[in-house]
Each structure stands twice: as C-alpha cells, then as structure tokens.
Structure 1
C-alpha cells in the first residue's frame, strides 16, 4: 500500500474515532444508559487498536523492504514492532 494512501486511511480512522469520543461525551452529559456508553467505548477501543495495527504493520513492511545496514539495528526494530503487536 502506498504511504500516502496508508496515511490517509489512518487519519480518516482517527477522525472517525474522534467523532465517536465526542458522541460518548454527549451521551454522558445526557445521562444515557451505561450499556450504551460502554458499547460505544468498546467501539472506540477497537478503532484505536486497528489504527495501531495499521501503523505497526506498515513499519514492519518498511523494515523488510528497506532493511537497516546494521543487522543488529534491524533485529532491534523488528523485535520492537513484534512487542508492540503482542502487547495489549
């Protein structure tokens, strides 16, 4: 995927998430049902997890397509990316 397209997708998803957060704020102000608020918060968390995955995946792709000259540095970057993926 082209970097510009990837960047646009990430920004669009973040804007959508921003709107969801504003919606939750409004729900709380209007004292909406707890389960409805929790449902929206869960959707926000999923959206953020997706953005993180997209960014880490793109960085991993870059590591393989444009490896560092120093193999130890390359290995360190790959390990960091893996840790970001499995850390939750």
Structure 2
C-alpha cells in the first residue's frame, strides 16, 4: 500500500485546511480587509501548503527512495523526478 493511501486522512485534513484558509482569504478580499489581515492569511496558506508538501515528499522519499529492493538506476530516476518537482515548487 502506498504512503498516500496510508496517510490519506492526514493529507485530506491538510488539504481541507488549505481550502478553508483560501476561502477565508477570498471572503476577506470581497470586503474591505486590512492589509495585515490579508498578509497574515496568505502566510497561513503558504505554511499549510508547505506542510502538505513536506508530508507527501517525506513519505515519497522514505517509501520510494529508501526502498531496499530498487535498482540504482530506478533510484536515480526517482531522485531526478524529485529534483524536478522541488525546482518547480521552489520557483
């Protein structure tokens, strides 16, 4: 069973947190919000997304890159995929 399936409830909780924070930001922007409130909400959303990325990435590294039964070639391909994702994420 994959780490995504195993951690599904925890990951869904994080996604729902991001969704709730995004909706709160949208609602706030529909009114006349204070700049600091908007900045705080954006910061909270970023933190929630970073936490989600950390959880999924850690599970992937442990399950896929840490697997003893994969070849060096498979491991290298996994590493390249993770690097590509991280470069995209960190833009």
Report the TM-score when normalising by structure 2.
0.78
User: Root-mean-square deviation (CA), in Å?
Assistant: 2.2
Q: Displacement, 1:82?
A: 5.0
SS across alignment from 1:12: helix
Report the TM-score when normalising by structure 1.
0.80
SS across alignment from 1:65: coil
Name 1:35's counterpart in structure 2. Answer: 36
Name 2:78's counterpart in structure 1. Answer: 77
- Which of structures 1 and 2 has the larger relative contact order (alpha carbons within 8 angstroms, sep 6+)? 2
Q: How many correspondences in the alignment?
A: 86
Q: Displacement, 1:31?
A: 1.2
Name 1:49's counterpart in structure 2. Answer: 50
The answer on whether the counterparts of 1:13 and 1:47 sit within 8 Å (CA) in structure 2 is: yes
- Unaligned stretches of 5+ residues in structure 2: none
- Taking the aligned partners of 1:5 and 1:46, their CA distance within structure 2 comes to 23
